Amino acid sequence: MASSSTIDYEIITDPWDPKCVSACTMYYPGNEPEDTELLLEKIRGKLDERIHNHTLAEEYRIMNEQIVKSQGFDVDFSKLRYLFDFQPAFLDELYPLGKPDTGRVYFGRLAAEALEIYNKREGTGFEFVDVQKAYIYLNSGKVYFITFVAKDPLDKKTKVFQAKVIHVFCREIVHSFCRLKPNQEGTCEDEDSIAEKASVRRTKKRKHGGLEINQEW
């Protein structure tokens, strides 16, 4: 296992590098399938010409600058018109590769595995609590950027972690890295409080064309 000092957290943007993460639109504008707009509304809300007025080139820049700056863990999709191959996971819906589990359960399992590796490497005993969010980069396989909460059993305080996990050709799971989220302030939330918040998130819904869609808050 490589030491934390030798792990490269930066996003690779060289298209010739197999580890490259560079978001692209999934469909050429005007050729999107009929259900694309429904998915986009789930990701960023209804189309608003006052907000969603960037050119395709501008959206490429906006999306990939955010990915590079946050190293894949913090992307704002609210101002995007087009559907990219870098997307948020819907944690409280069934995840195709995790059936019959929801995304929260599936990514929680991956996060717990990543945390176990982290604990062995760092000599710590953090315990997984809950997934905050996850992003999916769709390539030849899938790259997951998971943000989650874990508890230190010694002082009962929680910390936010980030894990990058690669699902190679939808078969082999490779844990790229797991780390404490950089520059975070200490927190004293207990596990019960976090679990209660997660329960509230799962029960909130928003209306969409007469349908109720689970919405993360």
148 located within any domain: yes
Check residue 209 and give its pLDDT.
42
72 located within any domain: no
Range of the domain at 149: 103-196
Over 50: is that where the pLDDT of 205 sits?
A: no
End-to-end CA distance of the chain: 36
φ/ψ of 68, rounded to 5, equals -65, -45
Residue 64 amino acid letter: N
User: Percentage of the chain surpassing pLDDT 70?
Assistant: 81
Cα(145)–Cα(9) distance, integer angstroms: 11
- Tell whether omega for the bond before 100 is within 30 degrees of 0, i.e. cis: yes
Note the pLDDT tens digit of each residue in 68-104.
Answer: 999 999 999 998 889 999 999 999 999 887 678 999 9
Check residue 15 and give its pLDDT.
84
180 located within any domain: yes
Q: How confident is the model at residue 207 (pLDDT cuts 50, 70, 90)?
A: very low
Check residue 100 and give its pLDDT.
83
- As for how many domains the chain has, the answer is 1
21 located within any domain: no
Cα(192)–Cα(184) distance, integer angstroms: 21
Q: Which among 58, 56, 26, 61 has a CA at the least distance from the CA of 43?
A: 26
φ/ψ of 109, rounded to 5, equals -65, -45
Q: Which residues, in sequence order, are CB contacts of 19 under 8 Å at separation 6+?
A: 12
Check residue 30 and give its pLDDT.
79
Whole-number average pLDDT of the chain: 83
170 located within any domain: yes
Q: What is the pLDDT averaged over residues 108-118?
A: 97
50 located within any domain: no
Domain CATH number, residue 117: 3.10.450.10
51 located within any domain: no
206 located within any domain: no
Residue 207: exposed, middle, or buried by beta-carbon count in 10 A (0-12, 13-18, 19+)? exposed
